Structure 1
């Protein structure tokens, strides 16, 4: 018979110990090479991220400030959004790299547990095993030490005024809990489509979802998808954004993993929907539904649900009233995502897309009894500095508001507005420390959520003239200088000349600068600008605290640049403070529930103009209140101020101060239509006087310092032809009253 057994292998030659170790090392190295390369790449990525974050963090923080200085609030919002996209991309990439590192180390650990371990004798291989084990132990210790914070709402943020009196809570302004099982399926599906389409499958973190979101955001040029899971977002809401960076993201990921083991998916989703901020003071899906659409969350239709879900990423920037086009892009993406997942029929999605952004209410969820606009500004500042979605849970926010002055401001605006304009604003600042003592941004916070005190920028009219006066004095000229004061004057600019007239077409013959300020004579101030140059006026205003864009044109003295009431109050506070700019402050400090001071805002002082310049301006402005256009603001005590009225009575201002308090009042229509012949010397001056009289009642009277005029030169332009500096651009001149 034929032997069919396989041939025997030759006997194996015993290997020497060194050869055995080399053979084992070569085999193990081949198996470890791909993982080692991956680890090196991931570690390099993490290092690059850390360097990039350290380098970019302070620069990105200044992007919004530069945007605000160049083009006002809209540019600042675009700059913040750009900075947010960069941060989001970096953080998402870092989280992905960290997750890959965890998985790679875990796989490496499993790999070296095979037969090769029995052949390990090399010190290098043993060291690799120890490093892997140390990495795993480190992650295990971090995971074990990660603490799941208490549910949101357990420790509400309390806001107190300068005297420690409670004003309300930012966290619990509007809260209407709704159980997940009571919501229509399309509401839940809309949220999942917008924020976390794999929520039901992942265990707290999703590498695939982070990659998809990063790619979608980079290709779209906007925040189309969030990089974090709903679980991670909820953890972020609980922990806040006080420690931005990679370490915080890794901590959130570990807490998310632990939270998923403690709670079921519906409970996590319930708490998430009950916690997130939807803008306009609304927290949670229930409050959001009533705030924007006036219906319970259980009655939201598909289009409304998709709209609310689309707003989650950036509720303030995606408000239907302010950004319908940007919101629509997110809304359409959400509806298509619902259809792609099979949660919504394609025809229904198309119908909702064709319907457009649904009509939303113009109100807010709730209004505090006192200072709703002030608290709205505080919430905006906290959100900008601590994170858009930070719930501020458990904090005590001490603000610079004086509760008595705030109540007075609310009442004074309500009493004087009386239907004569759509809106009004009042800002009161202590020039000594920059504390904003009171702020009103409109007639009714529920009906008009726009805070015109900080968010609206309008031409200041002749209330801007004190900055021209300051530039004139800085140039070495005395307020006794004389100019012709005709009823009108031509300004040479490219194209047709611009004719500037005095209010009421009044002519005054010859006037000193002091007299021209008292009567608010436009034609004299145009000659003053020609003397010092419009660039000097803009420079003074900038140094005094005006951050909005200002055109360097001759008519700048008539207030063609648009600014906010808060900015104008800051500029006047600089003059009241002897030429020292003290940055306005809403927040004094933020204290955690354990007593830790999270942040503290100290007064910041900067010398903006000379003491004599500020004192001369103040001395001239006292005559305006005593016997000029602002005599309706006379307090029977030393006070300085200036009226401002723009063309066709579209804006009416009065800005004034005593040594210890600066107050600015503005009235106007939100659509910029003319008011019924309202001037700054009428209703605004009356409102200012009513507020200041009550605010200063019982307070000692302080005099302004007498300015030293020695060294200032008196010029006389009466016998000369008036020379007007040409300008590249010019807007329509604003009149005054």
Structure 2
């Protein structure tokens, strides 16, 4: 790294978006030159050197550009390959073959953009709109860095192999390189409930088991009482656990978790692919635990594969400059559930899509034809901070999330 590059890096942290060389190169150069002049004043460098370094061009983005087909996916691939091959990745002329489906990626981009537009256009949305943020950055508004706008992610994978077909890790790679699909920890919300039901079915509790949807009081770690409610803030009386999942009733999930044991629920989620820490609290049953979205996609693959989970992966093979295969990663498949348990859960999750909380998301918003079999679960956290859908068809599994980077209500009653 030369002095010019060091000065540029020193100028960015104060206002990252405003002084980003990739977003605002004019501002970045002006700020860098100011730093160089200060260095000369403090006699760290000579005035002649400061003048020379001030004439050097601002570097352009080299590795991954937001103009590429799938920048978040490509950066994920680059990180994996960098860990494996080091500098050889950049110097040896390697050929990388990935699982990405370009057509599916483009469709995912369109779908997510439509989703963001819907959220920003609905009554009650009080945050900055992304277009306003872009305009503020373009005109050099010093408040741009503090503007908060709704983010999102999408992961689509082959449910049989785990090959990732599409990935969106955020609103725009140019403004935020943080990949929410592979790095963010977010509360799972109601999307966690299927792990409760899976633990119950695996322990021989039938889907016809009846639980009273009625007020419940649970003691928290600090000794205070927790009085949870359903999303509707009403109670519907006795119902089967199948109906409880279909309607996503919080009370049913909490009582069922108490019946089967929170340790069993946590261990079931762990086996299915949730590696993030899972606290053994009553609120865990309704999704208080924070998870990485890619883990959710992996865990739901256990349902679609008759109990076999698949590890999501992006790379098919790597060839050297002579066309010889030097890395050929194989799909990782692990049997984690009894096939019968998985089939029962698929049936219950199909019920969610056909007649429950997932019907609007899948059949109306996504427009999936009724003749295409689908199963899945919506997921909304308290105060509409995180909004999820995890679901699958026979040929595709997807995890979708919308929310703010700093957890807060997206808009009242968002689902």
Q: TM-score range by the shorter chain?
A: 0.7 to 0.9
Flag the structure with more relative contact order, 1 or 2, with Cα contacts below 8 A and sequence separation at least 6. 2
SS, match of residue 416 in structure 1: helix
Structure 1 vs Structure 2 CA RMSD: 3.1
More strand by percentage? 2
Contact 1:484–1:510 under 8 Å retained in 2: yes
Contact 1:652–1:667 under 8 Å retained in 2: yes
1:551–1:289 CA distance, 2 compared to 1 (3 A): closer
Match in the other structure for 1:493 = 220
Contact 1:654–1:665 under 8 Å retained in 2: yes
Match in the other structure for 1:387 = 86
Match in the other structure for 2:25 = 294
Which digits, 9 at most, give the CA deviation of each residue in 1:494-532, with x for residues without a partner? 310111111121211110000000111111111111111
Pick the aligned partner of 2:109 from 404, 410, 414.
Answer: 410
- State the TM-score, normalized to the length of structure 2: 0.78
Which digits, 9 at most, give the CA deviation of each residue in 1:450-477, with x for residues without a partner? 2211121110101111111110011111
SS, match of residue 412 in structure 1: helix
1:419-458 superposed matches below 5 A: 420=120, 422-458=150-186
Match in the other structure for 1:584 = 312
Match in the other structure for 1:467 = 195
* 1:654 maps to 2:389: yes
CA–CA distance in structure 1, aligned partners of residues 170 and 321 of structure 2: 33
Deviation at 1:597, TM superposition (A): 1.7
Q: Which has the larger radius of gyration?
A: 1
1:188–1:671 CA distance, 2 compared to 1 (3 A): closer
Deviation at 1:482, TM superposition (A): 0.4
1:297–1:392 CA distance, 2 compared to 1 (3 A): farther
Which digits, 9 at most, give the CA deviation of each residue in 1:474-503, with x for residues without a partner? 1111100001001x3211233101111111
Which digits, 9 at most, give the CA deviation of each residue in 1:669-697, with x for residues without a partner? 112121113544xxxxxxxxxxxxxxxxx
More helix by percentage? 1
Contact 1:581–1:607 under 8 Å retained in 2: yes
5+ residue gaps, structure 2:
11-18, 51-59, 121-148
CA–CA distance in structure 1, aligned partners of residues 5 and 312 of structure 2: 43
* 1:639 maps to 2:374: yes
Contact 1:429–1:573 under 8 Å retained in 2: no
1:275-354 superposed matches below 5 A: 290-291=21-22, 294-295=25-26, 301=32, 343=45
5+ residue gaps, structure 1:
1-179, 195-287, 307-334, 349-360, 681-737
Match in the other structure for 1:558 = 286
Contact 1:290–1:365 under 8 Å retained in 2: no
CA–CA distance in structure 2, aligned partners of residues 612 and 383 of structure 1: 41
CA–CA distance in structure 1, aligned partners of residues 64 and 312 of structure 2: 28
1:382–1:464 CA distance, 2 compared to 1 (3 A): same
CA–CA distance in structure 1, aligned partners of residues 249 and 230 of structure 2: 6
1:692-731 superposed matches below 5 A: none
Contact 2:391–2:399 under 8 Å retained in 1: yes
Contact 1:289–1:300 under 8 Å retained in 2: no
